[in-house]
Structure 1
Amino acid sequence: MTKKQWQGWGPGEQAEQHYLVEPRVLAGGGDIRHVSEFLRASGWRDKSTAGGPLFLESPDRTVRIAYDPYVLPGGWTIHGKATGHQDEWWANLGRQTPVEIVAGLTDALTRPRSAHAPNVWAPLQEQRWRTAPDAGHVTATSPDKTAWMQFHQMPNGDAMWWSGAKDQQGNGWTAQFTPSTPMHLVQAFSTALASPEPVMRPRGRVPHSSQIRTTSVSVLPSQLSAWQQARVQAARAATWARNWTANRPRTTARPHATTHHARR
């Protein structure tokens, strides 16, 4: 007896089992293409070598992003060059940092900076994270106590942002930002960190942890591809719009009196 295909499925296409994982902070690294394909579509240059780590450079060559799983501890390194009023800065995120949280930071690198003053704590407070001030630092902890965000004031006056997540078995990741890291990028990271939305992982890629909750879903390969392409197309559209706005010719309207005189 053959199984009847659902109308609209592609020929021979079969659903694959995936899981919605929450909290997202404990979902594991995920597919790095979630980060890299968006950046490529935003005009970033791929300078990776065959068989080597991922290496991407911003269109203006001021920011570089690398992902290296072949070294210990491995993970993401984001480096910004000194430009104008901005000092050189670094951000390091562990290998098990969920790509959806990494993308919160890296996607922000492709967008114009907001005119509003950044507030790293606001997204955490909206999700009811608890903030506890202590000598030299302030720490916000998620309601389930699996994740944290900390502002640490060092004796020399420098400030460092430190974040991460860990389950009861000790599995997790950490992220560090140098004092010079632009605050709007740290806020973009904290927004993705605190998001209550679950993330999707394929079967066999869900971490073994007693503190995660999973919901089994059947997903078609064509659906996964469509979701990925929608994200890429959004990046391309935004890049095209920015380039068109920056490069369009500017025209100055003639004064009304001059136009009236010319008509006469």
Structure 2
Amino acid sequence: MKKTQWQGWGPGEQAEQHYLVEPRALAGGGDIRHVLEFLRVSGWRDRSKKRGPLVWESPDRGVRLSYDPYTQPGGWIIRSAAREQEAEWWAVIGRQAPVEIVAGLTDALTHSRFAHAPNVWAPLEEQHWHTQFEGRHYTASSPDGTAWMHFRQDGGGNALWWSGARDEGGNGWTAQFAPSTPMHLVQAFSTALASPEPVMRPRGRVPHSAKIRTTSVSVLPSQLGTWQQARIAAARAATWARNSVRSPRPRTTSRPQAGASAFRARR
């Protein structure tokens, strides 16, 4: 285990020991606020009931996310009702899935879709995951063999995406996606899953596994706050930009020519 000391400490603060954990898929669940705070500033509403699972709803009420750490198997459930030309879909992710990987999917729920066709396998291939064809089945596994992404198709053409991670003791998590889950969301998940970037965990929250590599770092509370606020600020800016585009231009009592010139000047 390597040890690193962060520089630039301010006066009056006590550094705390954290660990950079890799591979990220085995880092354990982490702080769920990493997921929920991003959704909150993106306009999602907390619909949780007392003594029940956490439930959050999208601004258009079309998607619901729930998190239940108490029941078995527990974890994350994201569900969307059928609307317009999009069928109902769902995703179920185990509670030991790192929040940074869960956020790959949930962050994408707040973004506009890209114009190009999604490719779930591209992020995995870029990180040199091993791929294997088995008839209509397709499998990709991480270089160290601890994480995977499966695509299965039955005789009726129904598809199922299945992913997860396991250490040498069988500890880990799984994730499943409905056949109708939008592919750009599955790609966002696979991108976060395959990322080589380590994730940070506080002392006492690192799983015990020979498959995990850790780097000890001393971090100030203000540094943690700055990193968290940077993520929140990005979500808030994106939300503001989307709302600005959707909002109609304000009415003006000025002559049309003057109003148009003033609007161009403000831009």
Give the TM-score taking structure 1 as reference length. 0.90
**Number of residues of Structure 1 aligned to a counterpart in Structure 2:** 247
User: 2: CA distance between counterparts of 1:7 and 1:54?
Assistant: 38
Distance (whole Å) between structure 1 residues aligned to residue 238 and residue 72 of structure 2: 36
Aligned mates of 1:69, 1:16 — CA distance in 2:
26
Structure index of larger Rg: 1
Whether 2:7 is the aligned partner of 1:25: answer no
Does residue 47 in structure 1 map to residue 47 in structure 2? Answer: yes
How far 1:201 sits from its partner (Å)? 0.2
User: Is the deviation greater in 130-139 or in 210-219?
Assistant: 130-139
* Contact preservation (8 Å) 2:9, 2:220: no
State the Cα distance separating 1:245 from its structure 2 match.
1.2
Instruction: Please give the per-residue CA displacement for 1:174-209, whole angstroms capped at 9, x wherever unaligned.
Output: 000000000000000000000000000000000000
In structure 2, C-alpha distance between the alignment counterparts of 1:51 and 1:216, rounded to whole Å: 37
CA gap of 1:8–1:153, structure 2 versus 1, over 3 A, is closer
Distance 1:211 1:9 in 2: 35
1:9 to 2:13 alignment: no
Q: Deviations over 1:45-97 (max 9, x none)?
A: 11112343211000000000001001000000000110111000010000100
Q: Percent identity among equivalent residues? A: 70
Aligned residue identity for 1:209: S
**Is residue 111 of structure 1 aligned with residue 85 of structure 2?**
no
Partner Cα distance (2:226, 2:46) in 1: 23
TM-score by structure 2 length? 0.89
Deviation at 1:154, TM superposition (A): 1.6
Partner of 2:219: 219
In the TM superposition, residue 10 of structure 1 has moved relative to its aligned partner by 4.8
CA separation of 1:45/1:214 partners in 2, compared to 1, >3 Å: closer, same or farther? Answer: same
Report the RMSD for the aligned CA atoms in angstroms.
1.7
Give the superposition deviation at 1:157: 1.7
Instruction: Show the counterpart of 1:179.
Output: 179
Report deviation, 1:135.
2.7
Structure-2 separation of matches of 1:7 and 1:81? 49
Q: Look up the SS of the partner of 2:191 in the other structure.
A: helix
SS at match of 2:175: strand
Distance 1:131 1:79 in 2: 29
Assess, with a 3 A threshold, how the Cα gap between structure 1 residues 45 and 10 changes in structure 2: closer, same or farther. Answer: farther
